[in-house]
Structure 1
């Protein structure tokens, strides 16, 4: 048995199902976004209901909504008839998840949900089902085949439903103008939270920790400054504090190979002019992205007037658990 070939086939089947679902998107999706947007604008919430695998997918969809500032809760359809309908309020939007659209437990609770003034959005693989018939908007998540070799286990169908939920959450995020700063409020823990909540000014090397020499200094003076600050780079500044360039240990190694007596020469000859920089008020994640995209070890920090006030080193990001 070729396990790798079988695995690739599963992935190809599910990928194909997603591509076909994407091609079917129409005005119904736009209508769903508008309704969800209106619900949240009037301080309503999104309620997600599903059974079995659809219920598991529903938990993830609700979590994605919550993490992006769209208030969502999961309603267990079995418990709904025994008091949990109390979480439903007029003005809410309800996402109903059922691939067949004929799930008994879901249809049993549907009439009771419809007694409230709510919007019903169905995610189903059967647009002609009972569930679809009683919903305000129907999003088609049908697939040609499951990736299960027995054609039994929900695979392509559950993936399609999950991705449709992600599409709703991400498009809604953009429609509401949700920002990185707002995202950070919901993710205060871990490396992601630290990167989103911490500003460059909080982590940069400044003062005695910043190796800095005036433009016109020698290579030797730059090396002394780096040694004193225990840094791998030295900022070169003009008399008014404006950034002139940056000189690194790597620059020194390269110029030393050409001339072992380079120490007395001006550092300006070997420094990098107009180096990559970030603003001191920027989020630490921006410095992280800048370092990664330019493939550098250090990035210069500037104040609002363009003066060099600090340096961010990749080692600092690791030490502070920003990465």
Structure 2
């Protein structure tokens, strides 16, 4: 018989709620620890001429990696340095002008303590994050940030749970405070995330995706309809712009307009000048508009393309919904 069948049934939902309550309480305790030390830590990092180097062992190291990634993506150049590897050569990553954040709940990680002499020799400011300020690490720090008397959610009191949650929250608080102090914007964030969906939403503009130059279909108002159709077929955008001889936009004619014209008139003169059947005042957009804005406006107006014009209504391009979707804009 499986011995597990003899165990009393566990109320998993109750355990989950107790765990969340303990971790929520850890954040509440952490909030009482935010004082002038937090302000001083932010000032030291803002004055840093080099990089913010985060280090920590074990679970603290995992939290440190996430903290370094958050700092780096929000305007504070940062990387994680494994304290064990640092003692075998990686300490060369650390140079004068950097700032170190060292994480250890006990405040006495042996691996980090081994690095202290060089940190002091390089005159690198040291910020520590620990449970309290009694350990040798916070005692050696320029700023000792503390979590307070946090109770681990682990019923054995052994696995880092509430303390790692509080440390992660403290790291986020530092990153957000620094982001705000630097005047970091959504565009700045996108520049460090160019490959993701957010980067495409914030970095891609209409000018990056529009058809322009020789790829831009355009005819003059006196162009006969049969030649207009050649232009539409040649440029393969299902439409053409109609411009005057100064390239000012006058109208648009699409393959859909052609079908509607055929429905209305079973026969028509192929030499008819396009000015007589073109659609005047077509939908336009600026080349500086974000691509996501173009897509949103297309959906709102239930159209599939915009003609791109400058401030003087000069025609400079065409962008279609297909271009936006193919570029991954959504």
Structure 1 and Structure 2 fold alike (TM over 0.5) = yes
Match of 1:94 in 2: 100
Go from structure 1 to structure 2 and tell me whether the alpha carbon gap of 1:316 and 1:156 turns closer, same or farther (over 3 Å shift). Answer: farther
Distance 1:53 1:300 in 2: 55
TM-score (normalizing by structure 1):
0.66
Matched, 1:111 2:117: yes
Residue 322 of structure 1 deviates from its aligned partner by 2.0
Match for residue 27 of structure 1 among 14, 25, 36: 36
Equivalent residue runs for 1:1-323 within 5 Å: 1-40=10-49, 44-142=50-148, 144-203=150-209, 282=288, 287=290, 303-304=310-311, 317-323=324-330
C-alpha displacement of 1:181: 3.8
Q: Which TM-score applies when normalising by structure 2?
A: 0.65
> Which sections of structure 2, spanning at least 5 residues, go unmatched?
1-9, 217-236, 238-278
Deviates most, 95-104 or 143-152:
143-152
- The answer as to whether partners of 1:143 and 1:156 remain within 8 angstroms in 2 is no
What SS does the corresponding residue of 1:24 show, helix, strand or coil?
coil
More displaced 10-residue stretch of structure 1: 161-170 or 141-150:
141-150
Larger Rg: 2
Unaligned runs of 5+ in 1: 211-230, 232-266, 268-274
* Aligned-pair CA distance for 1:91: 1.9
Preserved contact between residue 194 and residue 322 of structure 1 (Cα < 8 Å): yes
Once residues 184 and 152 of structure 2 are traced to their aligned partners in structure 1, the CA distance between those partners, rounded to angstroms, is: 35
CA contact (8 A) 2:74 2:189 kept: yes
Partners of 2:291 and 2:307 in 1: CA distance: 12
Count the aligned residue pairs.
307
Measure, in 2, the Cα distance between the counterparts of 1:321 and 1:28. 44
Contact 1:143 1:157 in 2 (8 A): no
Does the CA-based 8 Å contact 2:298-2:305 persist in structure 1? Answer: no
Give the SS at the match of 1:133. Answer: helix
Offset at residue 198 of structure 1 (A)? 1.2
